[in-house]
């Protein structure tokens, strides 16, 4: 899958273990902050009584913790609060399909990118009125998730009037509103949008001219180069040995409600 960024140059040299004691937080745990409503990157599976976390990001984070000889702990929270949680040290890192943006870079540092995504529009299967992003400006009711890059694009780039925007806390909520006819479209990240569209009998419309490519990376507290270096080593090794691609295949379409 070419969406995964090749970190080829660094990859061959990546040997884990040298800095196995790097990192912050307590001695034996590494705390990952995320918002587990973003399949296939992070989602909860209800196995037994306790919700368990799974997905591409969860698997990557486990590897990072393992490389440091630590136990991974997951703090599930609203996406909108993640950057603050990282910058105040409440969590060690945010692994959340998080797009690198100039605004976020003011508050946190980002690892090397590990995935390239874009925004897509999720619309009814029989919709023929939305074929490009500009069509959303024709009085369409548009759903987004609060604080996602899709929210910024709909609000600032496309300048959809506020009264036509519905902001939810989870992608599935607004996608269901497209299904039941309350909304005309949802603007959401490509992999998640495709998975949710497929599982709800909806379709995806792309518009690469307006929706540019976005890079997902892991956020750490500003200046925490020790943890950042460790993360980058693991990412480059997982890229080099094909593990990240294998995860993408394994989780393709996973757990989309």
- Binding-site ranges for ligand ARG (CB under 6 A): 34-35, 37-38, 42, 79, 96-99, 148-149, 189
CB nearer ligand ARG, residue 65 or residue 117? 117
d(CA 47, CA 17): 33
Instruction: Look at strands 50-54 and 185-189 and give their pairing.
Output: unpaired
For the beta sheet containing 202-205, the strands, ordered from the edge strand earlier in sequence to the opposite edge, are 165-168, 142-145, 185-189, 119-124, 202-205
CB nearer ligand ARG, residue 26 or residue 213? 213
Q: Which of 101, 69, 72, 105 is nearest to 86 (CA)?
A: 105
Question: CB of residue 16 vs ligand ARG: minimum separation in angstroms?
Answer: 25
**Are the CB atoms for 216 and 98 separated by under 8 Å?**
yes
| CA-based R_g, the chain, Å | 18
CB nearer ligand ARG, residue 25 or residue 147? 147
The phi and psi torsions of 123 (rounded to 5 degrees) equal -135, 170
Question: CB of residue 78 vs ligand ARG: minimum separation in angstroms?
Answer: 9
CB nearer ligand ARG, residue 42 or residue 184? 42
d(CA 207, CA 226): 39
- Residue 115 corresponds to which tokens in the numbers above? 């995935």
Only one residue has tokens 């799974």, namely: 54
Question: CB of residue 115 vs ligand ARG: minimum separation in angstroms?
Answer: 9
Helix axes 190-199, 171-179, angle to 10 degrees: 40
CB nearer ligand ARG, residue 10 or residue 210? 210
Question: CB of residue 12 vs ligand ARG: minimum separation in angstroms?
Answer: 29
CB nearer ligand ARG, residue 119 or residue 230? 119
Question: CB of residue 189 vs ligand ARG: minimum separation in angstroms?
Answer: 5
Question: CB of residue 23 vs ligand ARG: minimum separation in angstroms?
Answer: 22
């Amino acid at each position: 899958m070419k969406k995964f960024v090749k970190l080829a140059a660094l990859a061959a040299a990546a040997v884990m273990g040298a800095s196995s004691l790097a990192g912050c937080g307590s001695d034996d745990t590494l705390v990952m902050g995320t918002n587990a409503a973003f399949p296939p990157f992070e989602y909860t599976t209800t196995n037994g009584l306790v919700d368990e976390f799974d997905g591409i990001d969860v698997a990557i984070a486990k590897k990072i913790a393992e490389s440091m000889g630590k136990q991974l702990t997951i703090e599930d929270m609203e996406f909108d609060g993640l950057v603050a949680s990282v910058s105040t040290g409440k969590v060690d890192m945010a692994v959340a399909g998080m797009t690198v943006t100039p605004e976020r870079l003011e508050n946190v540092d980002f690892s090397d990118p590990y995935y390239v995504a874009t925004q897509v529009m999720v619309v009814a299967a029989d919709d023929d009125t939305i074929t490009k992003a500009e069509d959303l400006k024709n009085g369409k009711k548009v759903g987004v998730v609060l604080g996602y890059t899709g929210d910024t694009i709909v609000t600032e780039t496309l300048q959809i009037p506020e009264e036509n925007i519905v902001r939810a806390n989870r992608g599935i909520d607004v996608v269901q509103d497209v299904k039941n006819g309350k909304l005309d479209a949802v603007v959401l990240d490509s992999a998640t949008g495709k998975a949710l569209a497929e599982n709800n009998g909806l379709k995806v419309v792309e518009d690469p001219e307006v929706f540019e490519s976005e890079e997902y990376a892991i956020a750490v507290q500003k200046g925490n180069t020790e943890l950042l270096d460790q993360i980058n080593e693991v990412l480059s090794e997982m890229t080099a040995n094909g593990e990240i691609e294998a995860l993408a295949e394994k989780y393709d379409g996973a757990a989309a409600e």
